[in-house]
């Protein structure tokens, strides 16, 4: 029951954040200087992210959360 | 020996992609990213993984991405060592290709991947779409992939099939001039053979292959933040909650700080904490009546891990040797420690080469 409730709360929080975010003020292109830094880009180094995700999934039961999954491997 | 034969393959692949890029003539922005990863854990397993990744624009709206990688493995698993006491080497090769087409604010990607190793192969088809809204301040993305995974039940030649489907959706939102957030949801379904043919469980003192359900449904919720701080410093925070119908639940928290010490030097330090519950049928060993499902798979046991990562990115002003302006060098070291006794050290080095070619 507690687990179900936690899941429901997490999903509700994510949904609320998504809906709330839609109403944010628009940032104009000339105001995006710092947003353009690679540090602000999610998964900027996709090759490194793919490698780290690969070996972590070889040791952990969880997977996903960073885009569509590629195929399995004998290490999993 | 395996490692020696792998590296020339990657060099040939790199030369090939460079040649492909050089043959083109129209205005475009291309990039070649060559990386080398070294992994070593407390079991004595060493995995060397060179990879080559090419991104190339074919037209203003169409781009192609090609990646090739090798895992050269010194010992495949604990179970391999039981039969091959002097160690056993293995090699995994994977190749991926995707094409992205842009239509105004819409970006559509179609691709595939194939990997092959001694006793396993995987074939994947994937597609994704994203759309920019609200003057580029909101990005909505979604995707789907399907994989046919085929393990071979070594030492027999029997090949089993496993089907894995996965779908995700995410919303990325620019909140302010210095804050970007992302929320995502992902669901996966795996059906077919899911036992690990290389891991045996102790059932009443006898080591036998495990038996797990042939269906697994997985769900993941993520929340991520990127925050620009004063003095060229950036904060990253990612949270992931995972749960599946094998009763595995996990929470993952990533925290990181990046700082530009100069336009050329970027330093990043990050920490990852991961905690999971065990699968409902997992036990270290089984005694008495044999349950329907049993496993000794270490991935399905409860544990917590800490991961410490340091990274330096050097983008020199001007040329490095014959490489073009904007070339970047990345060095990363990672230390992973779990409370089940597993530890690993991972070293990565990467060379990112932007290649700009202009119309004559």
Extract the residue ranges of chain A whose pLDDT is less than 70. 1-25, 68-69, 76
H-state helical runs in chain B: 2-22, 78-83
Q: What residues in A contact B274, CB-CB < 8 Å?
A: 56, 60, 62
**Token digits for B232?**
């060229």
| Distance, CA of B37 to CA of B108 (rounded, Å) | 30
* pLDDT single digits (tens) B228-260: 999 999 999 999 999 999 999 999 999 999 999
For B73-120, the pLDDT digits (tens) are 876 555 565 667 666 778 889 999 999 999 888 999 999 999 998 888
Q: Write down the domain spans for chain A.
A: 3-60
Question: What DSSP assignment string belongs to B124-141?
Answer: EEEEEEEEEETTTTEEEE
CB contact, 8 Å: A9 with chain B? Answer: no
B224 Cβ neighbours under 8 A, 6+ residues apart: A42, B181, B182, B183, B184, B236, B237, B238, B239
Query: Residue B1's pLDDT band (boundaries 50, 70, 90)?
Result: very low
d(CA B152, CA B155): 8
Contact state of B234 with A63 under an 8 Å Cβ cutoff: no
Domains and CATH numbers, chain B: 7-356 (2.40.160.40)
B252 interfacial to chain A (CB closer than 8 Å) = yes
- What average pLDDT does this structure show over B127-142? 93
Pairs of residues, one from chain A and one from chain B, whose beta carbons lie less than 8 Å apart: 220
Higher pLDDT, B344 or B29: B344
Check whether B45 has a pLDDT greater than 60: yes
Give me the sign of the Cα torsion angle A75, B1, B3, B9.
Answer: negative
Kindly determine whether residue B113 and residue A71, on different chains, have CB atoms separated by under 8 Å. Answer: yes
Supply the DSSP symbol for B210.
-
Q: Which residues in chain A have Cβ-Cβ distances shorter than 8 Å to B144?
A: 68
With CA atoms as reference, report the closest residue to B271 among B301, B328, B311, B220: B311
Contact list, B174 vs chain A (CB under 8 Å): 24, 27, 32, 35
Residue B139 touches partner A, C-beta closer than 8 Å = no
Residue B21, token pair as written in the block: 């890029």
Cβ pair B243:A7 closer than 8 A: yes
Closest to B188 (Cβ–Cβ): which among A25, A34, A69?
Answer: A69
pLDDT at B72: 86
For the cut 80, the answer to whether the pLDDT of residue B342 exceeds it is: yes
DSSP, collapsed to helix, strand or coil, labels residue B245 as: coil
B58/B176: higher pLDDT:
B176
Residues of chain B contacting residue A42, judged by C-beta atoms under 8 Å apart = 172, 180, 182, 224, 226
Asked if the Cβ–Cβ distance from B222 to A66 is below 8 Å, we say yes
Structure letter (DSSP) for residue A39: G
- Tokens of residue B285, six digits: 């060993």
Cβ contact, residue pair A62, B276, below 8 Å? yes
Question: Which tokens is B48 given?
Answer: 């060397």
Report the distance separating Cα B228 and Cα B260, nearest Å: 12
SS3 A12: helix
More confident of the two residues B190 and B134: B190
The pLDDT tens digits for B136-184 are: 899 999 999 999 999 988 878 889 999 999 999 999 999 999 999 999 9
Q: Which pLDDT tens digit goes with each residue over B255-311? A: 999 999 998 899 999 999 999 999 999 998 899 888 899 998 889 999 999 999 999
Rg (CA), chain B: 23
Identify the pLDDT of residue A68: 65
Residue B138's pLDDT is: 93
Distance CA B154, CA B197 (A): 7
Q: Other CB atoms closer than 10 Å to residue B287's CB: what's the count?
A: 10
- Provide the terminal-to-terminal Cα distance of chain A, rounded to the nearest Å: 30
Among B124, B177, B185, beta carbon nearest to A14: B185
Rounded percentage of chain B residues whose pLDDT exceeds 90: 58
Contact present, B234 and B257 (Cβ < 8 Å): yes
- Alpha helix segments (H runs only) across B196-275: none
């Amino acid at each position: 029951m507690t687990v179900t409730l936690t899941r429901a709360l997490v999903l509700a929080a994510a949904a609320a954040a998504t809906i709330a975010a839609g109403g944010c003020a628009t940032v104009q292109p000339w105001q995006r200087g710092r947003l353009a830094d690679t540090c602000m880009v999610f998964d900027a180094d996709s090759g490194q992210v793919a490698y780290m995700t690969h070996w972590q999934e070889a040791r952990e039961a969880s997977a996903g959360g960073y885009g569509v999954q590629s195929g399995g491997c004998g290490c999993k | 020996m395996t490692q020696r034969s792998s590296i020339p393959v990657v060099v040939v692949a790199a030369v090939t992609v460079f040649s492909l890029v050089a043959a083109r003539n129209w205005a475009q922005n291309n990039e070649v990213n060559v990386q080398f990863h070294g992994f070593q854990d407390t079991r004595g397993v060493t995995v060397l993984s060179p990879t080559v990744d090419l991104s190339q624009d074919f037209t203003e709206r169409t781009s192609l991405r090609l990646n090739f990688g090798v895992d050269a493995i010194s010992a495949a698993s604990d179970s391999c060592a039981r039969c091959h006491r002097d160690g056993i080497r293995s090699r995994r090769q994977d190749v991926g290709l995707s094409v992205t087409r842009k239509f105004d604010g819409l970006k559509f990607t179609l691709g595939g991947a194939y990997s092959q190793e001694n006793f396993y192969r995987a074939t994947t088809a994937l597609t994704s779409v994203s759309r920019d809204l609200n003057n580029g301040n909101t990005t909505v993305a979604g995707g789907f992939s399907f994989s046919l995974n085929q393990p071979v039940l070594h030492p027999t030649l029997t090949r089993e099939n496993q089907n894995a489907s996965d779908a995700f959706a995410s919303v990325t939102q620019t909140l302010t001039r210095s804050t970007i957030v992302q929320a995502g949801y992902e669901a996966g379904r795996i059906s077919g053979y899911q036992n690990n043919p290389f891991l045996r469980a102790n059932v009443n003192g006898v080591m036998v292959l495990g038996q797990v359900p042939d269906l697994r449904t997985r769900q993941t919720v993520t929340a991520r933040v990127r925050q620009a701080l004063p003095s060229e410093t950036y904060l990253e925070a990612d949270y992931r909650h995972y749960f599946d119908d094998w009763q595995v639940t996990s929470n993952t928290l990533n925290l990181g700080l990046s700082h530009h010490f100069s336009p050329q030097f970027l330093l990043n330090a990050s920490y990852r904490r991961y905690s999971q519950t065990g699968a409902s049928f997992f036990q270290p060993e089984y005694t008495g009546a044999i349950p329907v499902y049993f496993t000794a798979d270490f991935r399905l046991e409860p544990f917590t891990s800490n991961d410490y990562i340091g990274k330096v990115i050097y983008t020199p002003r001007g040329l490095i040797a014959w490489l073009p302006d904007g070339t970047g060098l990345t060095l990363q070291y990672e230390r992973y420690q779990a409370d089940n006794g597993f530890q690993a050290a991972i070293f990565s080095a990467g060379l990112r080469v932007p290649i700009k070619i202009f119309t004559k």
